[in-house]
Chain A
């Protein structure tokens, strides 16, 4: 009883801080707790939003979604997209950061130019790549033909389309990895590299035995951020291929979108969301641990 009273007194004394935290707290609760509870609940129902049919069916959605060919394809596609995209974006970004290290003529304007792709609206990026990829009169196939090679179905070939979409993501987001890693590179004392070259370390030795270990935590963070972002890819798939040809570019986000907002099967869409959340939770644990390690919380 006494404890409760001191607690209350403490809150009253500090009511200002409680009051100004509350609005943000309320919005965050509204945006997370309510939707997640709904998703969990709906995943156990056969629930069609248009016919308003809502029937408890236990784990039936879970077994039918996991054995659904299209869901499996979309899951594999998402993993490929996320893995290949992140790997190449961070790898190329790091290579660019190394390339731009030091002083040279035109460095500053070139840096600003290199971050242009991430400043262009995603939908505009998709539009221009659609014209470049166009089968009959697109520029890429024109160049291939000029070089004596056959036209390529960038977005029509089911074996290639996913990689064409990934390429657009790489074009747009490599600059992000680049700019973050080059800032990290600049924060390393020059003496470190000087010592390495006095010790006789060549270029690749300096990069892999000195630079990478020092930048490691930043590299990990960029990898995680790009993984989170590529894992949810939706707009590029929607604008470039619509999931096709066949289901060759369908991703998990696109699958959930189609189940939920084209067929209005909210139950199945929720179950697919649950499977996605399992993977997201794994990424989140690594990500949050990394940020706690940086000591920002």
Chain B
């Protein structure tokens, strides 16, 4: 194997490499140290790069301020919107990949689903808001799960459709010859074969819902129902300078996602192109 001009790693490479790592890591480092600094250290006019001790009171205050309630809301909404989307798109993806509907409906439907993804959420928010006011679904985590389908459903349909298309149909045909029912095949044959695809899809979908802000802002007015992004933004606007506590919430809200970094990297860098659409 001969080296090509793209492979060369001279001193300039290592300098650029270090600069990139610093630019990427510094804000994350800043989140962590700020969370462990005392209020005095945080408003010091000379920035404190290394805190003198671990000031854990920020975390204590944040937890006393109801962090776990917000965490529960976020997790509840993210998990159930994902489960709902997975169920719908598992069924729909199977139908779209195994049956040709008349009038090119397969293509029409998939393009239609893409359109949902492209629409700015704020455009959908107004009509959905008036509808939800009428249906008393405001201030209701269940209502939020319905509107989160705007994000999670198009994503799950496209992902699972891609996995179904790549799945050979021989197993299904064999089971059909053995007299298995449609639903039996779906449950006992197809679902186990699709396991890794379903897991990957659900992780990306949970991350998406975990981060959502606009609909949470519009549809949840009760502080007890707030999700983490909402809690954080209210903290920014109400207690501008309590940076320690702000970063403590931020750190706690981000750690669960950062743990998935390795997994996300593996999936996305192994030609996981469906994550593009």
A residues contacting B by CB (< 8 A) are 7, 10, 14, 16-18, 20-21, 23-25, 27-28, 31-32, 34-36, 38-39, 42, 49, 96, 98-99, 101-104, 110-117, 119-132, 136-137, 139, 142, 171, 175, 179-180, 182-183, 186-187, 190, 193-194, 196-197, 201-203, 206-207, 211, 221-222, 225, 228, 231-232, 234-235, 238-239, 252-253, 256-257, 260-261, 266, 269-270, 273, 276-277, 280, 283-284, 287-288, 291-292, 296-297
| Interface range, B side | 35 or more
Residues of B within 8 A of A (CB): 1-9, 13, 16-17, 20-21, 23-25, 27-28, 30-31, 34, 43-47, 87-89, 91-92, 94-96, 98-99, 101-102, 106-107, 109-131, 149-150, 153, 157, 162, 182, 186, 207, 210-211, 213-214, 217-218, 228-229, 232-233, 235-236, 243, 246-247, 250-251, 253-254, 257-258, 260-262, 264-265, 268-273, 276-277
State whether A31 touches B95 (Cβ < 8 A): no
24 contacts between A and B (CB under 8 A): A17-B99, A17-B101, A23-B88, A28-B153, A35-B124, A38-B126, A42-B126, A102-B9, A111-B265, A112-B265, A117-B27, A124-B232, A126-B233, A132-B27, A132-B30, A190-B4, A196-B5, A197-B2, A203-B8, A206-B4, A228-B117, A260-B125, A292-B111, A297-B106
B229 & A235 in contact (Cβ 8 Å cutoff): yes
> Cβ of B23: which chain A residues have Cβ within 8 Å of it?
171
B133 nearest in chain A by CB position? A49
Smallest distance from the beta carbon of B126 to chain A beta carbons, Å? 5
- Give the one of A136, A266, A273, A287 with max B CB within 10 A: A273
B116 touches A32 (CB 8 A): yes
Q: A42-B126, A131-B34, A203-B5 are in contact. List 11 more A-B contacts (CB 8 A).
A: A99-B16, A101-B7, A127-B31, A187-B271, A232-B121, A234-B121, A239-B233, A277-B119, A280-B118, A292-B107, A296-B277
Determine the chain B residues whose CB is within 8 A of the CB of A235 once the complex forms: 213-214, 229, 233
Structural contact, A190 and B5, CB atoms closer than 8 A: no
* Chain A residues within 8 Å of B30, by CB: 128, 131-132, 139
**Contact of A124 with B250 in the complex, beta carbons under 8 Å:** yes
Bound CA span A25–B233, Å: 35
Of B8, B27, B102, B211, the residue contacting A121 (CB under 8 A) is B211
Q: Say what secondary structure dominates the interface of chain B.
A: helix
Residues on A with C-beta less than 8 A from B122 are 232, 234, 253, 256-257, 260, 273
Interface pair B265/A276, CB less than 8 Å apart: no
Partner of B47, one of A20, A32, A137, A175: A137
A142–B46 CA distance with the chains assembled, in angstroms: 7
Q: A162 CA to B126 CA in the complex, in Å?
A: 26
Question: Are A34 and B127 touching (Cβ within 8 A)?
Answer: yes
Which chain A residue shows the least CB distance to B111? A288
B150 and A31 contacting across the interface, CB-CB below 8 Å: yes
Chain B residue numbers with a CB within 8 Å of A296 are 162, 277
CB of A183 within 8 A of CB of B269, answer yes
Chain A residues with Cβ under 8 A from B232's Cβ?
A: 121, 123-124, 127
Q: Which B residues lie within 8 Å of A117 (CB)? A: 24, 27-28
**B128 contact set on A, CB distance < 8 A:** 35
CA distance A231 to B119 in the complex (A): 10
CB contact between A122 and one of B43, B101, B229 (< 8 Å): that residue: B229
Across the interface, do B276 and A221 meet the contact criterion of CB distance under 8 Å? yes
**B4, B96, B150, B253 — most chain A CB neighbours (10 Å):** B4
Q: Which of A113, A182, A207, A270 contacts B269 (CB under 8 A)?
A: A182
A contact face: mostly helix, strand, loop, or mixed: helix
Q: Are B126 and A130 in contact (CB under 8 A)?
A: no
Q: Which residues of A contact B24 (CB under 8 A)?
A: 113-114, 116-117, 175
Q: How far is the CA of A277 from the CA of B124 in the complex (A)?
A: 11
Closest to A117 in B: B24
Given A193-B6, A261-B129: A234 touches B214 (CB 8 Å cut-off): yes
B27 touches A24 (CB 8 A): no
Select from chain A the residue with minimum beta-carbon distance to B246: A127
| B-chain residues with CB within 8 Å of residue A201 when the two chains form the complex | 5
For residue B125, which residues in chain A have a CB less than 8 angstroms away from its CB? 257, 260-261
Taking a contact as CB atoms closer than 8 A, the residue among A98, A102, A183, A273 that contacts B268 in the complex is A183
B123 touches which of A102, A194, A277 (Cβ 8 Å): A277
CB pair A115–B261 under 8 Å, yes or no, is yes
Kindly report which residue of chain B lies nearest to residue A33, judged by CB atoms: B112
Q: Which residues of A contact B235 (CB under 8 A)?
A: 127
